[in-house]
C-alpha cells in the first residue's frame, strides 16, 4: 500500500515561517548588508568587504568584552547549576508544601529584567537600600559605581538570585520523573544518600541538566538589561559584556558597519556553542535508548 501524505499540514506551518521571516531572517539580512558596507549617511553605501570583520578580530575591545562575557557565564553556571540541584533535592516531593515551594521559587522568574536591575540597584544603596545599609552598619561599604569587584559581585549575585529558580524547577521535574522502584531498590540494598544521588538521581537528571545549562548559557551570554540598569557597564568597562558593548557601538557611536560585523560574530559564537550542546544531548539520548 502506498503511504498517503497530507500536504495540507504545510499551510498550518506557513504563518510560523512568515513570522520567523519578518522577525529574524529579514533583520539578519539587514545586519549582513551593513557588515560588508560603509555609509556616511543619506543612504549612501560603499562596499567594504570583510574590512569590518578584520577590524573586529584585531580589536582589543572585542576580545576584552568576550573575555568578561566568558568569565561571567562560567561563573554563574558554576554557581547556579549545583545550587539549583541542591534546592531541587531538598524540596518537598508531595503535598501542599510542594506546591507552595514551587510557587515561591518561581516568583523571581516572573519579574521583568529591567525591574530586576532596578530592585538590586535600590537594594544596594547605602541610604535607602536594606543590603547597603546593613553592610555599611557592619563596616563594609559597597560602591559598584567605583569598585569593579563590588560591581562584579553584585551582577553575579543578582543573576544567581534571578535564574537559579529555573535550574531548580527543571531539576525538580527530572527528579519527579524517577520511578519509586529505583528508590525502593536502593533502600533494600542499603545504599547511602550519596550513592542514591550518584547512581540514580544524577543520571536521570542528565537530560534536564543539559537543557538547563544550554538555556542559562544562552541567556547569560546575551545578558544586557540587568547589568546595564545596575552598573551601566561600569565602573569603566568592568561589567561591559558583549551585548552592552555592541549597543554602545551601534547606538552610542553609530558605527553601524563594525557593530554589524560584531553582532554576526556574536551570533556565530552562540550558535556554535548551542550546536555543541545539542550534539551532546542527542548523543546521550541515543546512548539511553540502547
Domain spans of the chain, in order of start: 61-251
Fold of 61-251: MetI-like fold (1.10.3720)
pLDDT of residue 88: 92
The answer to whether residues 212 and 82 touch, using CB atoms and an 8 Å cutoff, is no
- For the chain, give the mean pLDDT: 85
pLDDT of residue 86: 93
- The three three-digit cell numbers of residue 162, written as one number: 534571578
Query: CA-CA distances (angstroms) from residue 89 to 83, 96, 151, 188, 236?
Result: 10, 17, 31, 21, 41
Residue 137 has pLDDT above 90, yes or no: no
| pLDDT tens-digit map of 103-121 | 898 899 988 888 898 889 8
| Separation of alpha carbons 47 and 60, rounded Å | 25
The answer to whether residues 260 and 53 touch, using CB atoms and an 8 Å cutoff, is no
Helix (H, G, I), strand (E, B) or coil at 55: helix
For the ranges 55-59, 75-79, 178-182, 278-282, the maximum mean pLDDT occurs at 75-79
Top pLDDT among 90 and 286 is at 90
- The three three-digit cell numbers of residue 258, written as one number: 563594525
| Separation of alpha carbons 127 and 116, rounded Å | 19
| Separation of alpha carbons 150 and 285, rounded Å | 42
pTM for the full predicted model: 0.84
Amino acid at each position: 500500500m502506498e503511504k498517503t501524505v497530507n500536504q495540507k499540514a504545510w499551510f498550518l506551518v506557513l504563518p510560523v515561517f512568515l513570522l520567523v521571516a519578518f522577525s529574524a531572517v529579514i533583520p539578519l539580512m539587514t545586519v549582513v548588508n551593513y557588515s560588508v558596507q560603509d555609509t556616511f549617511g543619506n543612504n549612501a553605501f560603499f562596499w567594504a568587504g570583510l574590512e569590518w570583520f578584520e577590524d573586529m578580530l584585531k580589536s582589543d575591545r572585542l576580545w576584552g568584552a568576550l573575555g568578561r562575557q566568558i568569565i561571567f557565564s562560567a561563573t554563574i553556571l558554576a554557581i547556579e547549576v549545583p545550587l539549583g540541584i541542591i534546592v531541587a533535592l531538598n524540596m518537598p516531593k508531595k503535598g501542599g508544601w510542594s506546591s507552595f515551594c514551587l510557587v515561591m521559587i518561581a516568583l523571581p522568574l516572573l519579574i521583568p529584567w529591567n525591574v530586576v536591575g532596578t530592585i538590586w540597584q535600590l537594594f544596594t544603596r547605602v541610604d535607602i537600600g536594606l543590603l547597603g545599609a546593613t553592610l555599611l552598619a557592619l563596616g563594609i561599604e559597597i560602591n559598584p559605581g567605583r569598585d569593579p569587584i563590588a560591581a562584579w559581585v553584585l551582577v553575579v549575585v543578582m543573576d544567581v538570585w534571578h535564574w537559579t529558580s529555573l535550574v531548580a524547577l527543571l531539576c525538580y521535574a527530572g527528579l519527579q520523573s524517577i520511578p519509586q522502584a529505583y528508590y525502593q531498590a536502593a533502600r533494600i540494598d542499603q545504599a547511602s544518600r550519596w550513592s542514591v544521588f550518584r547512581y540514580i538521581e544524577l543520571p536521570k537528571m542528565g537530560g534536564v541538566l543539559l537543557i538547563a545549562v544550554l538555556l542559562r548559557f544562552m541567556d547569560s551570554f546575551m545578558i544586557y538589561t540587568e547589568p546595564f540598569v545596575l552598573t551601566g557597564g561600569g565602573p569603566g568597562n568592568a561589567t561591559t559584556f558583549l551585548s552592552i558593548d555592541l549597543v554602545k557601538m551601534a547606538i552610542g557611536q553609530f558605527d553601524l558597519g563594525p557593530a554589524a560585523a560584531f553582532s554576526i560574530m556574536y551570533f556565530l559564537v552562540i550558535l556554535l556553542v548551542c550546536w555543541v550542546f545539542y550534539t551532546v544531548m542527542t548523543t546521550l539520548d541515543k546512548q539511553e535508548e540502547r
